[in-house]
Structure 1
Amino acid sequence: MSGNIRSSLRGQRGMSYWSLIFYISGFALIILFASKLAPGYVDAMHVENGLKDLAEKGNIRDMNRGEIVRDLQTYFMLNNVRGEPTKSVQVIRGAEGMLVSIDYELRQPLIHNIDVVMKFNKQLNTAKPELCCEPLVDLEQYRKRD
């Protein structure tokens, strides 16, 4: 009987010091990742919403490049989007309509010399605005010409 009592008491000791340190370190690492990566994803969400807002406008096919870029820049300014997304707006006019592309990558330092690279590619084709904001066209062919 005394053997059963000892084994049940041993099972109720709780968490050891090292287990506690392990769990706290894991939680701190998750918080670090979230705090470093979340701003990039929030900006990407605003970029997508800006393109959707542009797609909902009835006169987008009548707008020229400057008006589209200015409209997006205003949206970005109001939503505090800065940096790469604002610099990487491309408007390409085609036979059926225009393609508005925001293709960029962010490099975020994580710990000491470890960086995380996040790639975002959002496109709006004015001929198919209902398919906003997934990339439909590979823009590498346009970049090689420039």
Structure 2
Amino acid sequence: MNLFLADSLNISIQLLFAVLIVVSLLLLGVVLMQRPKQEGLGAAFGAAITDQAFGARTTDVLKKATVYFGSAFMLLCLVLAMLINRQHVKSSESLLSPEMQEAAAKQEASVPVKTPEELQQEELRRRAAEAEAAAASETPVSGTPEAPAPETPPAPQQ
């Protein structure tokens, strides 16, 4: 059953992609057939030919066709994105067997989560250990022994 769903999902994605290509080509043709407002580059390619070929109300029909094909293009893109996402999720789920999924869930549950207080205490202990190590390294260690303090001379004998 799952294999059938995967195949039907693949087939529907491919069919919708083919329809998307056809709609985008139709949208491109409809936009190029429209008469430009400033008669710029479109006039050089004979934009008046559409009026002669299809009649005077061609611009209204082309505007409506542009809206319909543009809406169909956006809708098809949205549906394809959702289907491809579903296909990706299903393929990533099927990579793991149910036993492996249960083991991964148990492993995630067994990992202890430290609270912010525990993390703060750990940071304080680490800083205290660093401070003790720094204090121990600050004691002067020299290769020559220090000279003893001078003694007071003995009192003269009488």
RCO greater where, 1 or 2, for CA within 8 Å and sep 6 or more? 2
Higher strand share: 1
Q: Same fold (TM over 0.5)?
A: no
Higher helix share: 2
